[in-house]
Structure 1
Amino acid sequence: MPQTEGTEVQPEKRVRLTAAKREAQLLDIAEETFSKFGYEGTTIDKIAKASGVSRAMVYQHHGTKDEIFLACVRRARTLFEQALIEKIGVPSTDWDAKIEAGGRVYFELIAENPQRWRLLFATSAGVGGHLADELVQLRAHTVKMTAGALRGYFPDAEGETLIALASVLSGAAEQLGRWWITDPQVSESRVLSYYVAAARGALFEMLGLPHGMK
């Protein structure tokens, strides 16, 4: 807009982000960087450059590269777990519908962003030590959360059985996801049907339910 006589041009004010918003922004950019370069190829310098901030700023909010990576994984898994609970958290006797709804959350994540799934939910060959242990704990938390949701359906089942069942359901989803990533020509509905068949068999066998139940 042209300046008129007698009117001073005011300098554009720079919007200062709150600490929470800055942290969220850094996580968004860090996740994009990890997805692009992989865990091994990502550095603090790359994250800082992509974010337009100093290395010191990145360290201030998230510390080491491992801690930034874990923060990305925690956020992604939290969002996934919330979506999963919304689908399976309300007790019902329509097992097939609940199994399909839970599986759909997982496979839609892969369909929408396979790179994010590969990075945040699959095991990286270059990850070890403390980071690997933390990733195992995050997976274990998802399993425990699933077992807790199953408790609402089967209040009389043993805790060990529910953990075992939740582990089977989680493992089946991850393995089918890895296969689907390598063979994307298979339709999402087809992959989901395989998951439902595997999960249904595990549920009915491990809990001793009559196979004629719906």
Structure 2
Amino acid sequence: MASAPQAGPRRRLTKQARRALILKAAEAVFGEVGYHGATMELVAVRSGVTRSLLYEHFSSLDDLYVACVHAARAELHSRFVDASIFNQGHPRDQLRAGIEAYFRFVQEHGPSWDVLSGTGSLPAGPAGELAAELRFRAADQIAALAEKVVPDLDPDEVRAYAHIVSGGGEQLARWWRRNPGVPLDDVVERLMTVVWDGLSGFVDSAVEQGTSSAG
């Protein structure tokens, strides 16, 4: 009777690949139980590594949380860049492209978004402060777009509108995470309906002025 073939040696992961595996597991843990429900032991079990190996990559739960936030923020930022929301089309199309990029990230990387948005309570100290600061940067991107379109608008007013858009998008994303059956296009259109009605007056005026100046 022939013996069963022997499995080959398991391929050893590189340090970078192991770190990525741990981050993915940590995002899932933070997304499910929040920062205060997470432990290094739980992340180690989820990622399939020993606790000692986990500590070789991350010195503490705060260190791991900050790394997750940075990774999520970098991915979301790349989505905005890829959508080219600062460079093309009518302002309405630019805004829609940015909103769609945001919600596509939520759809494809739900646990990452949960970490970035602070689902559940945030940690105290530097880790929590960093998470809050990075959440503000989405509003900064929206403000930068608005300043290009309506440069004569007061900067503080622009930032206020940007935070309204950002906060509304974040809350809608929380609702969508609980109602994942709603199509992406419907979610994007619902935010656009609310946001564009408020901003279109400023934008249309700026576009008209730009057309008159060009003439």
Scaled to the shorter chain, the TM-score interval is: 0.7 to 0.9
The answer as to 2:205 corresponding to 1:210 is yes
Deviation at 1:184, TM superposition (A): 4.8
CA distance in 1, matches of 2:24, 2:16: 12
After TM superposition, the structure 1 = structure 2 runs for residues 99-178 of structure 1, keeping only pairs within 5 Å, are 99-125=95-121, 127-154=123-150, 158-178=154-174
Alignment correspondent of 2:27: 31
Q: 1:60 and 1:151, CA in 2 relative to 1: closer, same or farther beyond 3 A?
A: farther
CA positional deviation for 1:57: 2.4
Name the aligned partner's letter for residue 40 of structure 1: H
**1:90-139 deviation line (CA, Å, top 9, x unaligned):** 43351222222211122223334545433432442364343321211111
Q: Supply the RMSD in Å over aligned alpha carbons.
A: 3.3
Greater shift in the superposed pair: 20-29 or 118-127: 118-127
Distance 1:83 1:208, change over 3 A: closer
Report if aligned partners of 1:30, 1:68 keep a CA contact under 8 Å in 2: yes
CA distance in 2, matches of 1:50, 1:99: 38
Task: Identify unmatched segments of 5+ residues in structure 2.
Answer: 209-215
Counterpart position of 1:60: 56
Q: Out of 70, 80, 92, which is 2:76 matched to?
A: 80
Aligned identity (percent) is 27
Count of residues paired in the alignment = 206
Q: Amino acid of the residue matched to residue 205 of structure 2?
A: P
C-alpha distance 89-108 of structure 1, shift in aligned 2 (>3 A)? closer
Question: TM-score, normalised to structure 1's length?
Answer: 0.76
Q: TM-score, normalised by structure 2?
A: 0.75
Q: Does 1:19 align with 2:15?
A: yes
- C-alpha separation between the residues in 2 aligned to 1:178 and 1:14? 40
Equivalent of 2:38, from 39, 42, 50? 42
**Corresponding residue of 2:195:** 199
Larger deviation, residues 34-43 vs 57-66: 34-43
Cα displacement (A) at 1:75 = 0.7
Q: Residue 147 of structure 2 contacts residue 153 of structure 2 at CA under 8 Å; is this kept in 1? A: yes
SS of the residue 1:210 aligns to: helix
What is the letter of the counterpart of residue 65 of structure 1? Answer: L
- Partners of 2:99 and 2:188 within 8 A in 1: yes
Q: Does the C-alpha gap of structure 1 residues 48 and 145 become closer, same or farther in structure 2, counting only changes over 3 Å?
A: same
Task: Map Cα deviations across residues 123-178 of structure 1 (whole Å, 9 max, x no partner).
Answer: 42364343321211111222223333445545555543443333222112112222
Cα separation, 1, equivalents of 2:183 and 2:46: 35
